[in-house]
Structures are given as structure tokens and as C-alpha cells.
């Protein structure tokens, strides 16, 4: 049995389509109570744990950093401690936001971290706590998650296309859009291999290819959806937000391929899947 923390989020939703998955939502365990997270693992005695739960309201996190740090930092640490006690693997989803977000080179797993906002700091705290637990683990950093479920950039762009024929989108933030379904498959493959070979524990990156700007991503969405929309490119400075966004979200995923045999997925293919799921295209 695979125990998944999270139930309604994009990744957790996809994981629940697979056999042997038990998903714990907020009605089952409170992430603000790290001890409850650990107790849930001891109660279920799973083969592996996947933490797909997190506080992801990046801008609101600036005003709630203490709370965010419990959910994204302390709770994963408690999960990891329980996994260490039971000698079972933990697969934990992290983010490109742990990096400074400068430069143009893809971030490698062993690059120095320097989060620029509260969300990034909370996710880094989770990473640190997991490593300190001694648990068998894979910390999987990803970026720009999209799917047919929940709130994400693809669905937002499609909604805007219903009421307007033009949109302004930032063009100086670059990253790899990643289909939630692909992340779910990667998590399951990593979990299986960790069970067989705990020496594969470590920090890894997984994001879609090719890397693009948000503006380029938006243009591709409209093109595949058959929507006539004018995309005007703007700099991040013209779209201020409470939380600083990284300009460089590129992730070097070579180690993930070398260790687990998992290649970066083409997000164009994932996009087509989502548009079909949403019945935008046939």
C-alpha cells in the first residue's frame, strides 16, 4: 500500500488513479499537526509514503510564514521521522523556488539554495528536515505544474480566452511546465526503486521540456486549444506580486534520468491530454 498525503491537489488527484494508493486529505490528517502526520504513517504501515500535500498559496504565504513553515517544513520532517522508524521510503515533492532564481543555467540538485520568498523558505525547511531524519527518501523538485484539475496556469488562460481576445503575460520568467500525471508516474517509479535500492536516496529534479517563458507557454496553450488570442509580452517588473518570483526556474534533470531512468516529459504532449480531459479539443 502506498500512503499519499494530499487528496484534492493536482498531484494527489492523479496518484489516486493508481492501484494500492490510500490518500489522506484534510479530513483525515491536519498538516498543522506534524505528530498526527507521523501517527497516520504508523497506523497505516504502508510500503512507501508520498507527500503530495503542501501550502501552495505563494503570495498569501508572505503574511503566514509561520503557518506555512509548519505545513511545508515541520510536517514533512515528522513524516520522514516516522518513515525512518519504519524503514520505508518517502517521496517528497519540492520546488524550484528553493533557488535564488537568477542566471540562465538550469539548476542542478546540488546547487546552493537561496529562496526568495516565504513559500520557498518553507519548502527548503522541509527538505532540510527530511534529510536530517535519516529516512530513505527522494526529494523531487519540480515546477509549473498543470493538469485538468485544480487551479493552474493552463486553466486560467483558457478561462481568460472565454471573455477576452488579448492577454499580457510575463516573458522573463523561464521554466519547464510539468504535467501532474507525469509527476505522479515519476513518483511511483521512484518509490518502487527506492524500496528495492535505498542507496538511491537523494535530491532530484523533474520538469517538462522544453523550457519556455510564461508568455510562450500561454501562446502554446491558445494555439493547441484553437483559441485566437493576442499574447503581449511584459517584464516581471510590470506585474508586481507580494512574493518574489524566480526568473530562472530551469531544472537540470539529468541525474533523475541517470539514477531512475526517467526522462523529462514533453509538455506539449501533456497539454494535449489536458485539453482533451477538459473537452476543449477532441
**Of the candidates 68, 56, 80, the residue with the CA atom closest to the CA atom of residue 129:** 80
Beta strands in 107-160 (DSSP E): 137-142, 145-146
Is 167 in contact with 157 (CB distance < 8 Å)?
A: yes
Question: How is residue 266 annotated by DSSP?
Answer: B
Torsion, Cα of 58, 59, 64, 65 (10° steps)? 50
Neighbours of 163 (CB within 10 A): 6
What are phi and psi for residue 143, nearest 5 degrees? -155, 155
- 239 annotated active-site: no
User: Catalytic residue among 55, 97, 119, 204, which?
Assistant: 119
34 near 71, Cβ under 8 Å? no
Report the first-to-last Cα separation within the chain, whole angstroms: 35
For β-strands 212-213 and 174-175, DSSP reports them as: antiparallel
Q: What positions carry a catalytic annotation?
A: 119
Amino acid at each position: 500500500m502506498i500512503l499519499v498525503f494530499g487528496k484534492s491537489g493536482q498531484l494527489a488527484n492523479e496518484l489516486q488513479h493508481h492501484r494500492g494508493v490510500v490518500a489522506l486529505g484534510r479530513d483525515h490528517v491536519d498538516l498543522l499537526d506534524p505528530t498526527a502526520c507521523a501517527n497516520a504513517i504508523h497506523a497505516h504501515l504502508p510500503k512507501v509514503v508520498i507527500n503530495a500535500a503542501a501550502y501552495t498559496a505563494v503570495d498569501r504565504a508572505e503574511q503566514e510564514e509561520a503557518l506555512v513553515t509548519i505545513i511545508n517544513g515541520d510536517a514533512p520532517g515528522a513524516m520522514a521521522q516516522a518513515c525512518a522508524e519504519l524503514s520505508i521510503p518517502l517521496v517528497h515533492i519540492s520546488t524550484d523556488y528553493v533557488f535564488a532564481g537568477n542566471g540562465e543555467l538550469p539548476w542542478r540538485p546540488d546547487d546552493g539554495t537561496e529562496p526568495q520568498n516565504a513559500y520557498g523558505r518553507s519548502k527548503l525547511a522541509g527538505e532540510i528536515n527530511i534529510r536530517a531524519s535519516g529516512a530513505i527518501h527522494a526529494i523531487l523538485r519540480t515546477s509549473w505544474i498543470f493538469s485538468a484539475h485544480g487551479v493552474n496556469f493552463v486553466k486560467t488562460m483558457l478561462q481568460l480566452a472565454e471573455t477576452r481576445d488579448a492577454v499580457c503575460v510575463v516573458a522573463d520568467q523561464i521554466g519547464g511546465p510539468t504535467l501532474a500525471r507525469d509527476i505522479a508516474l515519476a513518483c511511483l517509479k521512484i518509490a518502487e526503486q527506492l524500496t528495492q535500492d535505498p542507496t538511491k536516496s537523494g535530491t532530484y529534479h523533474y520538469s517538462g521540456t522544453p523550457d519556455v517563458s510564461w508568455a510562450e507557454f500561454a501562446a502554446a496553450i491558445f494555439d493547441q486549444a484553437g483559441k485566437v488570442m493576442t499574447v503581449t509580452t511584459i517584464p516581471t517588473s510590470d506585474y508586481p506580486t507580494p512574493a518574489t518570483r524566480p526568473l530562472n526556474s530551469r531544472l537540470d534533470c539529468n541525474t533523475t534520468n541517470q539514477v531512475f531512468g526517467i526522462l523529462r516529459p514533453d509538455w506539449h504532449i501533456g497539454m494535449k491530454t489536458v485539453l482533451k480531459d477538459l473537452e476543449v479539443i477532441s
